[in-house]
Amino acid sequence: MSRGDKKGHYEEIEITEDLTLPKLLLRMAKKYGDRKVALREKEFGIWRPVTWAEYLKNVKEFALGLVSLGIERGDKVVMIGDNRPEGLYAEMAAMSVGGAGVWIFQDCLIDEVQYIVDHSDAKFYVAEGQEEVDKGLAIRDQCPKLKKIIWDDPKGMRHYDDPMLISFKEVQRLGRELDEKEPGLFEELVNQGKGDDICLLFYTSGTTGQPKGALLTHYNMLKMGQNLMRVDPCYDTDDFVSYLPFAWIGEQMMSISCGLQAGFTINFPEEPETAMENIREIGPHVMFANPRMYEQMVRNIQVKHLDATWLKRVAFNLAMKIGYHVADLKFAKKPIPWYWKALQYFAYLICHKKLKDHLGLSRIRHAYTGGAAMGPDHFRFFHAIGVNLKQIYGQTEIAGISVLHRDDDIKFDTVGKPIPETEVRITEEGEIISRSPSVFKGYYKNPEATAKTLRDGWLHSGDTGFIDADGHLVVFDRTKDIMVLSDGSKSSPQFLEARLKFSPYIKDAWVIGDKMPYVTAVICIDYNTVGKWAEDRGIAYTSYPELSQKPEVYELVKKAIVEVNKTLPPAAKIKRFVNLYKEFDPDDDELTRTRKLRRAFVAQRYKEIVDGLYSGVEMIHIDTTITYEDGRISHIKTDLRVQDVPES
């Protein structure tokens, strides 16, 4: 796509007690009309634009359709599916008539879908296509308040004639009919909204038990977006690619809170699998992704480097050496001599320009990561190639973000400083607490959890950290996850895991060592990268379990661990490890839907592996099951080798 990089316009709006997200949509649609693209979706290989006027028209028709079907103020509308315009239409429509949106991760298992639909008291279930409809039909008997299942994609829906089903287009047709009868009804309903109304019922990832439903208001969401853009303004000429699940607060933070205020264009990939390719086509100015996405980008480059010609490898190594040196000078806030600036431009011409273009980051102005820890190695890599990657810190209960790096003040072992109107303190116990206009109202139907998390207006995060001499917040880890090592010192398993994942051959890691005689690790190899490595060396294998247990693969992983150990204090060094026979998977409850490790669960599930790592055995016998997304369960028996790591 050839669109100019001319900086557009951003004018901060006044967020009053009456302002809501739908009122802001009305304002933006009036301002831009058909003159500017609000949304863009790739479908059948073609980017299809939606103007601001069309955006509002679709929301209005669907909202009035819901009114025809009996929605009332305060009702909940569940949505499940890929990121696409219809998802935003449904969400904004629910808000427009005084309801609240409830997003569910598309890959949730049926029992997870049932829990959220039932717990939220949802009256409507908006599904993308056949797969999501089937989940809705399977759980409707357990969700007595559910009235209608609305589907959008007709593929596979031809013979579905259940009276509970209705198509997205039919709902919009009902809306058009109602609009003809009562022409001013939509605007009247939107104007009834207040900033303190609940707009989203957002379910947390649930690392320990069932997810909790956080109640967020229009005011929460608008103030968070405003304060983020007071640090990093977005412009109406900007492009943003929406590919993280809408059920993750970070995506709502950008697409809704910032998108409506700045007026930038939201681009939807054709499929989740084509997201990286579509990002390259768009070349976004602003990007938000979890660490896994950035880790995968680095891994892809590392693999291409391994396969490159000698000359290309030399050019890459030289350019990265220059990039790392300049990045480290910036981190240290030291002046960059003119000759290093010249070398940096040389590195850009021979390598970094192509790398950034390959990753879709050629026009990037602000790249954010959050939701989990990112290792310093990944952070330095992106800054070395000239990508302004910044860490953010926040949680669902504060509408997504409370702390952020500034452009000229980035320290990769911190998450930066609080955004405007936000206070962050550390309790005597070392817990991070926050106060801001974006702090949520509480948990839905859970007063006990609300009382524990919200105290005297302060949000208690459950994270341990401290504020350094420069005023930066350092997040150590979840309080419950911190390891007490053999010498009595404390360590963050997340930090060690992030360091391990800088190896292109390691996709996931679980570090163990709390109150143990030494630190151990369970490793999930990257099947594609390690598989390519094995094929190049004539190492035969037929499956992930077989490849993971190859002696040569164990040596490969051991080298990566030895490199990480060189940078660690003695008590934190990893002494033994095992390669798991599979990847960690949300369907097996090992990860949350936002890809965080559920440590308590995996410790129980893989107790025999933990026992084996500390008992001195050389082989661990496994007899367990694997769960697939459709509910199928597969039985597996295998043996895992345990590898000692030599002193570094």
**With bands split at pLDDT 50, 70 and 90, how would you rate the model's confidence at 10?**
confident
| pLDDT tens-digit readout, 132-167 | 999 999 999 999 999 999 999 998 898 899 999 999
Q: What is the mean predicted confidence (pLDDT) over 621-630?
A: 68
DSSP string, 437-467: TT---EETT-HHHHHHHEETTEEEEEEEEEE
Closest residue by Cα to residue 492 from 504, 502, 480: 480
Q: What is the spatial distance between Cα 172 and Cα 185, in angstroms, rounded to a whole number?
A: 15
- Whether 547 shows a pLDDT value over 80: the answer reads yes
Could you list the residue range(s) of the whole structural domain that residue 389 is in? 289-331+339-479
Report percent pLDDT > 90 for the chain.
64
Q: What is the pLDDT of residue 206?
A: 56
Instruction: Classify burial at 602, counting beta carbons within 10 Å of its beta carbon; exposed 0-12, middle 13-18, buried 19 or more.
Output: buried
| 372 and 492 belong to one structural domain | no
Helices (H), 332-438: 338-347, 353-359, 376-384
DSSP state of 8: -
In whole angstroms, how far apart are CA 238 and each of 9, 179, 388, 509?
Answer: 10, 33, 16, 36
Q: What is the spatial distance between Cα 154 and Cα 112, in angstroms, rounded to a whole number?
A: 25
Q: What is the spatial distance between Cα 133 and Cα 11, in angstroms, rounded to a whole number?
A: 41
Q: What is the pLDDT of residue 631?
A: 60
Higher pLDDT, 635 or 578: 578
- Whether 630 shows a pLDDT value over 70: the answer reads no
Could you tell me the two tokens for 527?
């099947």
Closest residue by Cα to residue 414 from 438, 381, 388, 379: 379
Residue type, 568: L
In whole angstroms, how far apart are CA 287 and each of 6, 108, 223, 412?
Answer: 18, 25, 20, 18
Report whether 389 contacts 291 (CB < 8 A). no
Among residues 479, 495, 520, which one ends one of the domains?
479
| 117 and 132 belong to one structural domain | yes
DSSP state of 243: -
> Rounded to the nearest 10 degrees, what angle do helices 21-32 and 218-231 cross at?
60
Q: What is the pLDDT of residue 585?
A: 86
Q: What is the spatial distance between Cα 132 and Cα 81, in angstroms, rounded to a whole number?
A: 7
Among residues 479, 511, 541, which one ends one of the domains?
479
| pLDDT tens-digit readout, 483-539 | 888 888 888 888 888 889 888 899 999 999 988 999 999 999 999 889 989 998 999
| 608 and 470 belong to one structural domain | no
pTM for the model stands at 0.84
Could you tell me the two tokens for 7?
């900086």
| 544 and 418 belong to one structural domain | no
User: At 305, which CATH number?
Assistant: 3.40.50.12780
**With bands split at pLDDT 50, 70 and 90, how would you rate the model's confidence at 179?**
very high
| 586 and 520 belong to one structural domain | yes
| 449 and 565 belong to one structural domain | no
> Rounded to the nearest 10 degrees, what angle do helices 310-331 and 376-384 cross at?
100
**With bands split at pLDDT 50, 70 and 90, how would you rate the model's confidence at 383?**
very high
Report whether 83 contacts 53 (CB < 8 A). no
In which residue are the tokens 């992930």 written?
Answer: 544
Q: What is the spatial distance between Cα 265 and Cα 8, in angstroms, rounded to a whole number?
A: 12
Among residues 423, 446, 479, which one ends one of the domains?
479
Q: What is the mean predicted confidence (pLDDT) over 84-92?
A: 96
Q: What is the mean predicted confidence (pLDDT) over 369-393?
A: 86
| 295 and 403 belong to one structural domain | yes
**With bands split at pLDDT 50, 70 and 90, how would you rate the model's confidence at 479?**
low
| pLDDT tens-digit readout, 195-218 | 999 999 999 865 556 789 999 999
| 490 and 628 belong to one structural domain | yes
Higher pLDDT, 84 or 299: 84
If one counts the domains in the chain, the total is 3
Q: What is the pLDDT of residue 489?
A: 85
Could you tell me the two tokens for 266?
């939201």
| 473 and 487 belong to one structural domain | no
**With bands split at pLDDT 50, 70 and 90, how would you rate the model's confidence at 2?**
very low
Closest residue by Cα to residue 94 from 114, 131, 139, 124: 124
| 421 and 297 belong to one structural domain | yes
Residue 3 lies in a domain: no
Q: What is the spatial distance between Cα 282 and Cα 239, in angstroms, rounded to a whole number?
A: 7
- Pairing verdict, β 122-127 and 76-80: parallel
Residue 454 lies in a domain: yes
Those residues with Cβ within 8 angstroms of residue 548's Cβ, 6 or more apart along the chain or in another chain: 525, 530, 579, 580, 581
- Please provide residue 632's backbone torsions phi and psi, each rounded to the nearest 5 degrees: -65, 145
Instruction: Classify burial at 256, counting beta carbons within 10 Å of its beta carbon; exposed 0-12, middle 13-18, buried 19 or more.
Output: buried
Q: What is the mean predicted confidence (pLDDT) over 372-394?
A: 87
Higher pLDDT, 65 or 478: 65
- Whether 592 shows a pLDDT value over 80: the answer reads no
Maximum Cα interatomic distance, the chain, rounded to a whole number of Å: 79
Closest residue by Cα to residue 609 from 632, 630, 581, 636: 581
Residue 13 lies in a domain: no
- Whether 321 shows a pLDDT value over 60: the answer reads yes
Cα–Cα–Cα angle for 252, 89, 16, rounded to 5 degrees = 60
Could you tell me the two tokens for 482?
């911190």
Residue 11 lies in a domain: no
H helices then E strands: how many in the chain? 23, 29
| pLDDT tens-digit readout, 226-269 | 999 999 999 999 999 998 889 989 899 999 999 999 999 999 99
Q: What is the pLDDT of residue 4?
A: 41
Closest residue by Cα to residue 243 from 124, 385, 82: 82
Q: What is the mean predicted confidence (pLDDT) over 6-27?
A: 87
| 133 and 181 belong to one structural domain | yes
Higher pLDDT, 206 or 350: 350
First vs last C-alpha separation in the chain: 50
Q: What is the pLDDT of residue 1?
A: 38
The chain-wide mean pLDDT, for the chain, equals 90
| 43 and 152 belong to one structural domain | yes
- Whether 109 shows a pLDDT value over 70: the answer reads yes
